A = this chain, B = another copy of it.
Amino acid sequence: MAVALTIVGDPREPATRRTLSVPPGTSILKAAHAGGVDITATCGGRGRCTACRVKFLAGAVPPPTVMDEVQLGPDLVREGYRLSCQCLLEEPVSVQVAPPLEERAFQILPDRPDGLARLGRVALDSGVAKQLVKVTLPREEHHQTSDLEQLCQALGVRPEDVGAGVLQALPQALRDDPAGVTVTTFGGRVLAVERGDTSPMKFGLAVDVGTTSVVTTLLELGSGERLGAVSSLNPQCVYGGDLMSRIAFAQFDPGNLRKLHTRIVGLLNQHVAEVCRESGVLAKWIYKVVVVGNTCMHHLLLGIDPSHVGLAPYAPVMRHPLVLPARELPLRVAPEARVCLLPLVAGFVGADAVAVTLATRLWESEAIRIAVDIGTNGEVILGSRDRLWACSAPAGPALEGAQIRHGMRGALGAIDRVTVDDDVRVHTIGEAEALGICGSGLIDLLAGLLDAGVIDWTGLIQVEGRAALPPRLGARVELRGEERVVVVCRPGEAGARAEIVLTQDDVRQVQLAKGAIASGVAMLQHVAGVPAAGVAELLLAGGFGNYVSIASALRIGLIPPLPAGRIRYVGNAASLGAQLCLLSEAERARAAEIATRIEHVSLAAHPDFERLFVDAMNFPRTT
């Protein structure tokens, strides 16, 4: 006995309505295809993407499968969306097919629920296209043609448009599979020719090369799905924690420049291997890579001498958006994959600032907003759709957990939340045994210690006043030789195997970091003439271990005293900006436009900066 399946293209258009008679137990996707209704199934109907989703308009909505929940998320599932490939028909239903490919929209899925979820939707248009092509090869000996010419004829392109890396394996690919070859193109260029039909396999990488941390994210280009991410310490750190020491190292010897270059390229190749292994994606199916980073990281990745980025007037060697084949770095993805480096603004305002501006939508904001990207070489951007200013905020690596006695990046076992009452109480990432403390934990800890009076407004640990503290808290404040410390975890507390302390020096490092950022914000407000009341919103971004607590960030004066409702944490916005450009060529074009719009404010050159910086080093006196 057949079941009635009604499929609607656009509910406002009755002409798009079709009713099919379907054997029970058939999937909606198969039934639609059998009935001549096109539903795109990017992953081939395996529940691995969201392309074939439908929305139930009438009839009982079946319970979601695991695939529905993983791919669509709780919101869409609740609204009656299901993957048509997973949904077997048992009774009459009416469903709406998801908008067709060219109108598909992409919602950036933040790592954190309070992250970028409120940002706009972006049309998926990575620029990477794959198509199955049958190439006819002549059989007679007198022909005067070549494999490449036959391919070009089938595709309608010129031999000059085919990357050299494609040629080496072309003859075998053309002869191996009677189904044909799958040709990948980007911007009119042929990037790959693979035997057989590999058209659903289309991936890209977004890479955020920070001074201290490097984050690589793997996305499926057809659906925007995030398949994995890996983050690690920038291995250039062994040659200097901040930009200036790394530039000095590069200047010292031409071989050093090569070392810095080789280290970062090596790490990116490790990242490729790791995300590929974890996701099951083959590296040769990665055809587009978007890289963001500050000017120095950008130059070192390209092997460009950064010496003059570190000397007044701090001139970058180049600023324009660069697209180069992966084999030139070399990055071990498809050899002809395009590596797109976003443009730079100035010596100390790089592609990461452009990516943050893009991801936070500052460029189209009606009201004036501020984006603060916390990092070793952080940036502050202030503005609206009318005008944009940016400055660098050289915070140093403290808030990324580096150069802190027991600091660490936000990985398993990092203390990411701290409360201070009559004692210090910690939470670790993954609730694993405490190994150290990451940026968000450090900010919480200092805020709590300030409120409890363990640290005063100048940052001094109050060893002398510890008797006045609650006994358990007071017992954590120690003078060891000449060093003032607060014991955060004793062995055994939070599963810690070894003691975790906060030293006086750690407090000074955080003061330097937050002073750099707060004075950068103050400076842009000063230059742009925008008082606190004129700031509609402050967006706090950065690769902290976990959500940074807005209250704690306000308490230590990392950000200016705005009402808490006008501040939100948006996660790693530089990486999200790179992901946007990976998924959308329109966004990548917008990044180029943003780079030309941003006005660079040089802090060091400004006469008022010194005063602002000294003020910003202290903690706010009010609790």
A interface with B by C-beta (< 8 Å): 137-149, 159-160, 164, 167-172, 175, 302-305, 307-308, 312-320, 322, 324, 328, 344-346, 599-600, 602, 604-605
Contact = CB atoms under 8 A, between A and B. Distances in A.
A287 to B, nearest CB: 19
A316 B145 CA distance: 7
B313 A148 contact: no
A140 B322 CA distance: 26
B328 A146 contact: no
A320 B159 contact: yes
A569 B72 CA distance: 77
A164 B604 CA distance: 31
In the A-B complex, list the 6 residue pairs whose CB atoms are closest, starting with the nearest: A148-B318, A159-B320, A141-B605, A171-B308, A146-B319, A146-B316
This chain: how many copies in the complex?
2
A262 to B, nearest CB: 14
B144 A599 contact: yes
A186 B342 CA distance: 27
Contacts of A167: 302, 304, 317-318
Contact of A602 (B142, B160, B316): B142
Instruction: Determine the main DSSP class of A at the interface with B.
Output: loop
Nearest to A147: B317
Among A149, A318, A600, the one with the most B-chain Cβ atoms within 10 Å of its Cβ is: A318
Nearest to A598: B144
Given A164-B328, A317-B170, A320-B160, A600 B144 contact: yes
A409 B320 CA distance: 52
Contacts of A159: 318, 320
A324 B164 contact: yes
Given A164-B324, A302-B164, A328-B164, A317 B141 contact: no
Contacts of A168: 302-305
A113 to B, nearest CB: 38
B346 A171 contact: no
22 contacts: A137-B315, A138-B313, A138-B315, A140-B605, A141-B314, A143-B346, A144-B599, A144-B600, A146-B318, A147-B317, A149-B318, A159-B320, A164-B302, A164-B328, A167-B304, A167-B317, A167-B318, A168-B304, A168-B305, A169-B305, A171-B304, A172-B305
Given A141-B313, A328-B164, A146 B305 contact: no
Given A141-B602, A167-B304, A308-B171, A149 B314 contact: no
